[in-house]
Amino acid sequence: MSRSTQYIGLNKYALNYVKDAISVDTYKMTTGIASEPVYGKIYQMPVPKGPNTGFVLKEIVQDVPWSSGPMIFTCLEATLTKECGQKIPMGKYFCWMIDPSVDLEYDIDTGRYYA
């Protein structure tokens, strides 16, 4: 049996939310089983109304269960920038949910996994 890194990434809801992102950047998010880089994306989103100048979503590792190698599930971490320059962490968005009733290791359509 071959062991390999399985990048699962964002669930369907997160992918739908960022599909119209203004710009995308990439960064080394983590390292896989064979020391290979695993890249995440940074999304510049439309700025929410109010005294704001920026809204960024960064893809981060949410969980790494094992199934013939690491399965990398990601979610989005939001940061809002105010006109005064203050950066406000807005928490995690679109996290995968652990659900023992899932038939497969993960279901990208529902955002549930049980690996």
User: 12-40: per-residue pLDDT in tens?
Assistant: 999 999 998 987 899 999 999 999 999 99
The per-residue pLDDT for range 71-114, each reduced to its tens digit, is 999 999 999 999 999 999 999 999 999 999 999 899 999 999 99
- How many other β-carbons are positioned within 10 Å of the β-carbon of residue 29? 18
pLDDT over 80 at 2, yes or no: no
3-state secondary structure at position 102: coil
The alpha-carbon radius of gyration of the chain (Å, integer) is 16
Q: List the beta bridge partners of residue 40.
A: 27
DSSP string over 1-63: -----EEEES-HHHHHHHTT-SEEEEEEEEE-TTS-EEEEEEEEPPPPSSSEEEEEEEEEEEE
The per-residue pLDDT for range 35-57, each reduced to its tens digit, is 999 999 999 999 999 999 999 99
pLDDT over 70 at 1, yes or no: no
φ/ψ of residue 83, rounded to 5: -60, -30
β-pair type (97-98, 112-113): parallel
CA-to-CA distance for 32 and 80, rounded, in angstroms?
30
pTM: 0.92
The mean of the pLDDT values for the chain is 94
pLDDT at 23 (0 to 100): 78
